[in-house]
Amino acid sequence: MTKRWNVAVIGCGIGKSHIAEGYAKLPDKFRVLAICDLDQNRLQTIGDEFSVERRTVSFDDVLHMDDIDIVDICTPPTLHVAQSIAALEAGKQVICEKPVAGSLAEADRLIAADKAAKGRLMPVFQYRYGNGVQKAKRIVDAGIAGKPYLATIETAWKRGAKYYEVKWRGRWDTELGGVLLTQAIHAHDLLTYLMGPVASVFARTATRVNPIEVEDCAVASLEMKSGALASLAATLGSQNEISRLRFHFEHVTFESGREPYAPGNDPWQIIPASAEVEASIAAVLRDWKPVGPRFEGLMEAYHAALESNGPLPVLLSDARASLELVTALMASAESSELLTLPIGKDHRNYSSWRPRELAAS
């Protein structure tokens, strides 16, 4: 018999999907006891839809609720660090939406708070879930794929005026970045999830689709620590929305599904180099148990990690790596230079990845 963990969801935009796709699908593992939002309409609609009686506009109230085990932060980006630290200090388990922080300096502050706390913080990367990506991960981790050669990562989504009606979006001060930070961060996490850390980047960014401050188109050329190469392309101006990831290894090529918001789902093409490799793949997948997509898969893995006190399915170090990549891409695009990782504390972008003329504002 495992514990049923009590959750409070803070922010009911994507927070609603955490409930609908995640907690509500796993009723023996989680119970949403409280929701918190400044918007009374959202509180009422979502509270009614998911039968959550406790509704509050006060984040502090939630921290004082002794029966809440997990505080799930889904508020706009600039609130993440302060709310995460406050929830950790209140002794809660914490989940935080991306981006967990607005700079590497802030991410390090969060890591220190997490180390000192009783609970642990799990960043959100739900695109890691779904049968396709999890099968690929198992094959790679088993050593069957071999040497990584090259990856191509496309995030081709569409955003227009309606999306940017929400005040915090589109601005450096409040969204903290554009397509690289807000949308393509998921696919870029999948690159490092399957092919390991990044060594250097050369990037270009542009704002071409919407009248916003932050970038909405980006391309980049990467060298991975392994020596493999990767190309990234991200736009918010695609007329048909897709995510598409192709990973070429010595013994296997993987191609993701194209569902824009669930590229981890089957069907993935898994193409072995030989009959022998095909047999190894079949052997390693013989006992495959289906993995839920997106928040269902993530929250199920999270529950198992809480129960066993084992590693969380997404680590703060993973979120930091994704932000280090964002920092490097922004710095390279601004300077038109190749940028080598890691980005140390003495790098001028350690405390802000915003373009230089805006960093002081």
Ligand X SMILES: NC(=O)c1ccc[n+]([C@@H]2O[C@H](COP(=O)([O-])OP(=O)(O)OC[C@H]3O[C@@H](n4cnc5c(N)ncnc54)[C@H](O)[C@@H]3O)[C@@H](O)[C@H]2O)c1
- Report the residue from 7, 8, 9, 10 that binds ligand X according to the rule CB under 6 A: 10
CB of 46 to ligand X, least distance (A): 9
CB of 47 to ligand X, least distance (A): 13
Q: Concatenate the DSSP letters of all residues of 58-85 into one string.
A: -HHHHHT-TT--EEEE-S-GGGHHHHHH
CA 188 → CA 62, 234, 340, distances in Å? Answer: 33, 10, 17
Whether the Cβ atoms of residue 314 and residue 305 lie closer than 8 Å to each other: no
Cβ neighbours of 119 (radius 10 Å) = 18
- With CB under 6 A as the contact rule, which of the stretches 8-16, 64-72, 330-338, 342-350 interacts with ligand X? 8-16
Nearer to ligand X, 248 or 294 (CB): 294
- ω before 197 within 30° of 0 (cis)? no
CB of 296 to ligand X, least distance (A): 13
- Report the residue from 9, 12, 122, 331 that binds ligand X according to the rule CB under 6 A: 12
99: exposed, middle or buried (C-beta count within 10 Å: 0-12, 13-18, 19+)? buried
Nearer to ligand X, 81 or 222 (CB): 81
Phi-psi region of 309 (alpha: psi -120 to 50; beta: other; left: phi over 0): left
215 binds ligand X (CB under 6 A): no
39 binds ligand X (CB under 6 A): yes
CB of 307 to ligand X, least distance (A): 24
Total of chain residues touching ligand X, rule CB under 6 A:
22
CB of 39 to ligand X, least distance (A): 4
75 binds ligand X (CB under 6 A): yes
Planar angle of CA 59, 97, 300, nearest 5 degrees? 105
293 binds ligand X (CB under 6 A): no
Q: Give me 154's structure tokens.
A: 């496309």
> Using CB under 6 A as the criterion, what x/- string covers residues 173-192 for binding ligand X?
---------x----------
The radius of gyration of the chain's CA atoms, rounded to the nearest angstrom, is 20
Whether the Cβ atoms of residue 235 and residue 179 lie closer than 8 Å to each other: yes
Using CB under 6 A as the criterion, which residues of the chain lie in contact with ligand X when the complex forms?
A: 10-14, 36-39, 42, 59, 74-77, 79, 97-98, 124, 126, 166, 182
